[in-house]
Amino acid sequence: MIGEDLLKHSAYSAILFLVVLLASTLPTSHTTDISTQGFECYTLYFLNGIVIYNSTITERLVLETPTNITLAEGFTQIVHHLLHYGVEYNETTWLFEFTVKAGENFTGFFISRVEVCSKPLKTVRDYVLRALEDPRFNVSEGRAEIPEEVVRGFLAEPRRVVVEVVVPEYESWFSSRYNMSTSSASRLGLAVTAAFFVYSVFIKYDPSASPRSIDEVIETRRGDCDDMSRVLVELLNYYNIPATIVYGYTFIESFNITLPVENVTYGFINNGPHAFTLAYIPGIGWISLDFLAGSFIDRVFIVENYGRETTVPGEAVKSFLELHRAINATQVIAVLSENSFSSVFSGELTLSSLSNYFDHLVRAVENRSIQVNIATSTETHATLFEHPISLIKELEELLWEVMPIILVLIVLVVLAAAFSRRT
């Protein structure tokens, strides 16, 4: 849930959600001809709805809404909005909107079919594994140069603190681990090993209820997942590797979270809000470096937006929390595979069946029958390719600490895109 007053915050910044790879089945894939040659496509269903029991404000609000979006040589997402109730689709902002009035209640929801196409997950996983084992590994499948539009949009001069602190430590670690210099590595090898270094060596995971600057993260060597992504983008740019952060929701069946933010209770069903880094490698295109949740490596991802920006928003968190104090509500965001969708709606989606299912999820969230489902490990949190089932050792209470900032920064991505379309 987002207040329109937050549209002025156009910084692309988000915090990675602490998701854990759990044993689950990927949705069925298929190939397609929609400018996605060589891609696999997955169909998911995205349900977002809110029940407001009381409000002390009158304001126009919006629900997080996936849209048609493409990153050339990376992914394509096509969205069909199927049904909605109580909310209106804004053709300018591409968001579902509604008005909440002081002293009144409200119910609204929508469901969309989302087709996400990306490189075959098994292929990407193989590339990453081989580059992590031998950083000289390279792939020559496409163009050998970096397109000008990629250079313009996703390469920038790295921050001085990254050049002076992170680069020397990464190169020292690389030399010690692989017995070679970084000059011997391919671009793919540099990207993959840099991601592993940032996630598992340089930064110790430490959630925060407020954003941190890159300088603070590097000085303390502590940060959450968003901090890691921003440092990684800057480090990759040092080696002339274009990079971007992708924001949205990682689909993990049976991964359910119920968490309060002030007076609003959020329920995430089969997903977690998340962000991760993509790197552009000539010969491959964009490749995921998500060592935490395996998005576009092991897991399908619903995209909200993407961008290179690594700055931290200022007053957005404060405004977000103020809004959540003014409203007493429950919001549910659920992601369903095709099989689950068919099972829930018996092959026929109607407004009545959707309303019943949404009501069921709201009751489950409010009764806390949707529990935090998180595995623990005594190993480091960045061990995607060593421990594919259990990645993160942080305890359940860490989610409670970081949840407000996770939500507000995911929200900013949606609003930044909407603001740019308005102007």
Residue 350's pLDDT band (cuts 50, 70, 90): very high
CB 412 within 8 A of CB 318: no
156 Cα distance to chain centroid: 22
Q: Which helix (H) or strand (E) holds 146?
A: none
Domain count, the chain: 1
Poorest-pLDDT segment among 169-173, 270-274, 339-343, 383-387: 383-387
Total number of residues shown for the chain: 423
Poorest-pLDDT segment among 218-232, 258-272, 391-405: 391-405
Residue 38's pLDDT band (cuts 50, 70, 90): confident
Residue 373's pLDDT band (cuts 50, 70, 90): very low
Helices 316-326, 396-422: inter-axial angle, 10-degree rounding = 100
Which phi and psi angles does 196 have, rounded to 5°? -60, -40
Residue 284 scores a pLDDT above 90: yes
C-alpha dihedral (389, 408, 161, 398), degrees to nearest 10: -40
pLDDT over 90, % of the chain: 62
Nearest to 247 by CA among 388, 111, 423, 416: 416
Residue 381 scores a pLDDT above 80: no
- Which amino acid appears at position 130 of this protein? R
**pTM over cut 0.85:** no
Contacts of residue 386, defined as CB under 8 A and 6 or more positions apart, other chains included, come to: 379
* Distance spanning both ends of the chain, measured CA to CA: 22
Following DSSP, what letter does each residue of 307-330 receive, concatenated?
Answer: E------SSHHHHHHHHHHHEEEE
Please state, in angstroms and rounded to a whole number, the distance separating the CA atoms of residues 396 and 263: 20
Mean pLDDT, to the nearest integer, of 278-282?
96
CB 36 within 8 A of CB 403: no
Helices 121-133, 187-197: inter-axial angle, 10-degree rounding = 80
Mean pLDDT, to the nearest integer, of 9-20?
28
Q: In this predicted structure, what is the pLDDT of residue 142?
A: 54
pLDDT digits (tens, 9 = 90+) for 40-71: 999 999 999 999 999 999 999 999 999 999 99
Residue 226's pLDDT band (cuts 50, 70, 90): confident
Q: In this predicted structure, what is the pLDDT of residue 324?
A: 92
CB 116 within 8 A of CB 69: no
Mean pLDDT, to the nearest integer, of 130-152?
88
Residue 141's pLDDT band (cuts 50, 70, 90): low
Q: In this predicted structure, what is the pLDDT of residue 369?
A: 66
CB 43 within 8 A of CB 115: yes
For residues 313-345, one letter each, b for 16 or more C-beta atoms within 10 angstroms of the residue's C-beta and e for the rest, the string is beebbebbbebbebbbbbbbbbbbbeebbeebb
Look up residue 370 and give its two tokens: 């949707």
Look up residue 394 and give its two tokens: 């942080």
- Which amino acid appears at position 102 of this protein? A
How far, in Å, are 132, 204, 221 from residue 378 at the CA level?
A: 22, 14, 20
pLDDT digits (tens, 9 = 90+) for 97-125: 999 999 999 999 999 999 999 999 999 99
Nearest to 193 by CA among 215, 174, 176: 174
pLDDT digits (tens, 9 = 90+) for 294-346: 999 999 999 998 999 888 766 776 788 899 999 999 999 999 999 999 999 98
Residue 129: domain span: 2-422
How far, in Å, are 259, 349, 405 from residue 398 at the CA level?
A: 11, 37, 12
Q: In this predicted structure, what is the pLDDT of residue 224?
A: 78
Please state, in angstroms and rounded to a whole number, the distance separating the CA atoms of residues 288 and 217: 23
Residue 227 scores a pLDDT above 90: no
Helices 167-178, 225-238: inter-axial angle, 10-degree rounding = 80
User: Rounded mean pLDDT of the chain?
Assistant: 82
CB 381 within 8 A of CB 373: no
Nearest to 291 by CA among 379, 178, 172: 379
Mean pLDDT, to the nearest integer, of 129-135?
96
How far, in Å, are 45, 292, 294, 361 from residue 122 at the CA level?
A: 23, 17, 11, 33
Residue 29's pLDDT band (cuts 50, 70, 90): low
Q: In this predicted structure, what is the pLDDT of residue 319?
A: 84
Please tell me the chain's helix, strand, coil percentages from 3-state DSSP, rounded to the nearest 5: 35, 30, 35
Contacts of residue 295, defined as CB under 8 A and 6 or more positions apart, other chains included, come to: 246, 250, 274, 276, 288, 301
Residue 292 scores a pLDDT above 90: no
